[in-house]
């Protein structure tokens, strides 16, 4: 990697680290439940920050790079909706108090940033050496998209997690949520808390999602910094997005279908490139935006009709 790109990565990460320290070290030092108003404010703030960064990319690197970042950010932000649903399942499964959920998501996001940066660096290195690996990425996206389209909801099985089972064999686990800490010392012994088990579940689940989302962004750009920065901004806004939408996730019934079509489209785009079929970044952005808009609008219309129970819905068949 050229020296100027290394400096760019370092400066960008220092900026992100400062934001994270501000978040946990000052704004959320004391564990507490996050209100809807606060979540909405933070969601808007993260989106504005991402768009301002996008304007900077347009200004410094040009229109193509700017559109690549915007498309990558949109894909990552959309795919993060599945993360939100899984987080909700995990927190419900473990009975995590609302006052500790932000803390888990903070450290989960921090771990996800580290793991995804490793994946992106390895992915960029592999693509530079073996360009044919893009076709493998394309196949992975199509298969993942088809599985997502066929599955009604993601499944979480913490009891099958190898890392959790291994940790339980080494350390005893406390049985309550009376402390915000992940590790405790009691009677001269080291205990891990249920929060630590939940954190491991969140981290390992994100690894599974990264297998889909990172190749998807490589499908629209080969620039590692664009892939990384679009991932970072999407993930940073994930916590606030969770607290804003967790209670209404079931409303977005068709969103998973839309996300699956996005993955299939990006995968097909990658597989068609060797045959001189090139889909421009502008057209890709329009297609991705169109698919997501239709799936969200369709979901809201369905939810509205079901709430009202209008006669017009009796002839409509919605899979349950």
320 residues of the chain, pLDDT tens digit each: 566 677 777 888 888 888 777 765 555 556 566 777 877 888 888 899 999 999 999 998 889 999 999 999 998 888 877 777 778 778 888 888 888 888 888 888 888 888 888 888 888 888 888 878 888 888 888 888 888 777 655 566 666 667 777 777 777 777 777 777 888 877 778 888 888 888 888 888 777 777 778 888 888 888 888 999 998 898 888 877 787 776 666 677 788 888 888 889 988 988 887 777 788 888 888 998 999 899 889 888 888 887 776 544 434 333 33
Give the pLDDT confidence score for residue 51 in this predicted structure: 93
- Tell me the pTM: 0.80
Q: Is 51 helix (H, G, I), strand (E, B) or coil?
A: helix
Q: Answer yes or no: are the C-beta atoms of 263 and 134 closer than 8 Å.
A: no
Which whole-number Å values give the CA distances from 283 to 266, 278, 279, 286, 295, in the listed order? Answer: 12, 10, 6, 5, 18
Q: Answer yes or no: are the C-beta atoms of 201 and 156 closer than 8 Å.
A: yes
DSSP H helix total and E strand total for the chain:
11, 2
Give the pLDDT confidence score for residue 317 in this predicted structure: 36
The dihedral sign for the CA sequence 118, 119, 121, 125: positive
Give the pLDDT confidence score for residue 94 in this predicted structure: 82
Give the pLDDT confidence score for residue 294 in this predicted structure: 92
Which whole-number Å values give the CA distances from 97 to 8, 62, 135, in the listed order? Answer: 39, 46, 44
Which whole-number Å values give the CA distances from 144 to 202, 204, 248, in the listed order? Answer: 20, 17, 25
Burial 128-142 (b: 16+ CB within 10 A, else e): eeeeeebeebbebbb
């Amino acid at each position: 990697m050229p020296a100027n790109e290394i400096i760019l990565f370092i400066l960008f990460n220092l900026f992100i680290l400062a934001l994270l320290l501000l978040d946990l070290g000052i704004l959320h030092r004391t564990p507490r439940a996050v209100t809807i108003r606060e979540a909405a404010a933070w969601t808007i703030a993260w989106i504005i920050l991402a768009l301002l960064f996008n304007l900077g990319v347009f200004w410094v690197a040009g229109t193509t790079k700017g559109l690549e970042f915007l498309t990558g950010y949109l894909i990552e932000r959309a795919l993060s909706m599945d993360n939100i649903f899984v987080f909700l399942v995990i927190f419900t499964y473990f009975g995590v108090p609302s006052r500790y959920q932000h803390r888990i998501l903070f450290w989960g996001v921090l771990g996800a940033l580290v793991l995804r940066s490793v994946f992106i660096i390895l992915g960029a290195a592999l693509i530079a050496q073996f360009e044919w690996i893009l076709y493998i990425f394309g196949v992975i996206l199509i298969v993942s998209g088809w599985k997502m389209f066929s599955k009604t909801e993601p499944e979480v099985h913490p009891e099958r997690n190898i890392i959790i089972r291994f940790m339980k064999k080494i350390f005893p686990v406390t049985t309550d949520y009376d402390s915000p800490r992940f590790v405790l010392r009691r009677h001269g012994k080291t205990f891990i808390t249920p929060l630590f088990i939940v954190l491991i579940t969140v981290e390992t689940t994100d690894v599974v999602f990264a297998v889909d989302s990172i190749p998807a962004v490589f499908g629209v750009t080969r620039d590692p910094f664009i892939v990384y920065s679009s991932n970072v901004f999407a993930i940073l806004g994930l916590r606030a997005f969770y607290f804003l939408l967790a209670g209404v996730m079931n409303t977005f019934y068709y969103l998973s279908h839309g996300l699956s079509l996005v993955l299939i489209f990006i995968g097909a785009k990658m597989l068609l490139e060797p045959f001189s079929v090139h889909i421009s970044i502008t057209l890709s952005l329009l297609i991705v935006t169109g698919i997501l808009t239709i799936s969200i609008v369709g979901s809201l219309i369905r939810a509205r009709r079901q709430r009202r129970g209008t006669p017009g819905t009796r002839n409509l068949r919605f899979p349950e």
